[in-house]
Amino acid sequence: MAAAPGDVPGIAPHSAEQVFHYDERGLQRRVDYAPYVLGSRPAAHYTEAH
């Protein structure tokens, strides 16, 4: 079951919307988000080593 950001008590999200990108093996490669601490400017987090 998926939870929307802010729906999990005690866990503060980075932003209201996060977009996850996965490769052909199902591994997470990138997350796009707009963190509140940066004034909601777009940011991306890349994952390379699993």
| Residue 37 pLDDT | 83
Residue 1's pLDDT band (boundaries 50, 70, 90)? very low
Cα–Cα distance list, 23 to 8, 10, 30, 44, 46 (Å): 27, 30, 9, 16, 12
Write down the pTM of the prediction: 0.68
Hey, what amino acid is at 8? V
| Residue 4 pLDDT | 59
**The residue to which tokens 């980075």 are assigned:** 14
Each residue's pLDDT tens digit, 2-30: 555 556 777 777 787 889 999 999 999 99
Q: Name the nearest CA neighbour of 2 among 29, 22, 27, 20.
A: 20
The span from the CA of 33 to the CA of 40, in Å, is 8
What is residue 15's DSSP assignment? S
